[in-house]
Structure 1
Amino acid sequence: MSSQVIFLSILGTILIGAISPGPSFILVSRTAIAKGRAAGIAAALGMGAGGACLGGLALLGLSALLLRAEAVFVLAKILGGIYLVYLGLRIFRHASAPLVFQDDGPVRATSLGGVLVASLLTQLSNPKTVIVYGSIFAALLPAQPERWLMLALVPMLFGVEAGWYLLVALVFSASGPRRAYARAKVWIDRSAGAVMAGLGTRLAAEGISSRVW
């Protein structure tokens, strides 16, 4: 395959993975609905930054290192799972809190920064993702890829991840979804929190049940 075809194949595969619902989708959509478009965009940019970091780690070969240093990988799974459980329980616990939209007033930079950091940590919390990135690169990248291909992959991975979640943020920050969310906030938040906590519990349990220890 030509380098151009390889490049598009990698980006397409990563996009399919990003579209699959998971903790990242839950966080971005809920943030956009509850806190408005600016916060949703900040969350999307955090997801893009996380995707770029994971792609960079995979290109550096750290995915292979994680597989060899199994104890480190298992520990990362446990810590990542605990973080997702924390986020899920926090969403669940505040499900009954009144909804205050922030569109009509200025949003502090610190709050947007907090949203960006939270979304970045959510994206990075699953060490399996860097393994997926590494597997995709191993399957599609040639043994000696062209220099432009290596240089272009990380920023384009940011574009793919951030672009998808920007779309999610724009859709869910629209007035229709927000009104629907306001009517069913308690149940939506409890469901989202339970799903996120469940995903984290599963990830941590996989690490704890490992025979590495």
Structure 2
Amino acid sequence: MNELTILATLASIHWVALMSPGPDFALVVQNTTRYGRQTGLYIALGLSCGILLHSILSLTGVSYLVHQHPGLFAMVQLLGGSYLLYLGIGALRGLWLRRYADHSDKNATQQTGDFLLASKRQAFSRGFATNILNPKALVFFISLMSSLVPAGMSLGGKGAALVILWALSFLWFALLAWLLSSSKLQSKLHNAAKYIDAACGFIFSLIGFTILLSSLADITMMLLE
């Protein structure tokens, strides 16, 4: 298999994976719906940079070493699961506070706005952290790189693979943010914002809780051995 075929296969698999609903997708949908295009684009940039770092770590073998060391991988799972659960609970809490904001003081509205995103840097950081702390992403890129990118691939080929993975990631999430923030769609989504927040909060909470259970089970097994 020549390098062009490898890169084309890598791009195809990654593109399909990007379109699968998950924490990254939910993060863009939730915050673009509520805060608009600019926030969505900075989240897209953060997510794509997280994917780039995952790709580099997988290509250099660092992620493989982490995955093969049960203690380190369990720590990654704990951090990732806790962060996603934090996002989920925060989204649901924000929804609850907004629901009763009219019956309380202005601090409730301020809290819900501050919890999610208040700046470009915060949007980028939220996107980056959501992706890089997702242990499922770590495993995915280990599998992708180890199965498609041969050790003997040229440095230029490996560099091209990194650029393709980053570019496709940013393109997809930026396109999603752009479409969701169109004027016609925004007017419709505004009325559905609370339902979107609830769905995204549930997704974050469910995935985070599942990852935490898995990591705790792994830690228990290690302690019993």
Q: Same fold (TM over 0.5)?
A: yes
Q: 2:183 aligns with which of 171, 175, 178?
A: 175
CA distance in 2, matches of 1:8, 1:113: 33
- For 1:163, the aligned partner's letter is L
> Structure 1 residues 89 and 177, CA, compared in 2 at 3 Å: closer, same or farther?
farther
Kindly indicate whether residue 155 of structure 2 is the aligned counterpart of residue 138 of structure 1: no
Matched residue, 2:165: 157
TM-score by length of 2: 0.85
Matched residue, 1:104: none
> RMSD of aligned C-alpha atoms?
1.8
Alignment of 1:1-213 (within 5 A): 1-96=1-96, 97=98, 111-210=119-218, 211-213=221-223
Work out the number of aligned pairs and report it. 204
**How much does 1:177 deviate?**
2.9
**How much does 1:50 deviate?**
0.6
**How much does 1:24 deviate?**
0.5
Give the structure with higher Rg (CA): 2
- For 1:111, the aligned partner's letter is S
Residues 14-65 of structure 1: per-residue CA shift (max 9 Å, x gap): 1111110001001111111111111111011111101100000000102220
2:33 and 2:193 in contact (8 A); partners too: no
TM-score by length of 1: 0.90
Higher helix share: 2
SS in 1 for 2:222: coil
CA distance in 1, matches of 2:136, 2:46: 18
Runs of 4+ in structure 1 off by over 3 angstroms are: none
**How much does 1:127 deviate?**
1.9
Identity rate of aligned residues, in percent? 26
**How much does 1:180 deviate?**
2.4
CA distance in 2, matches of 1:128, 1:60: 18
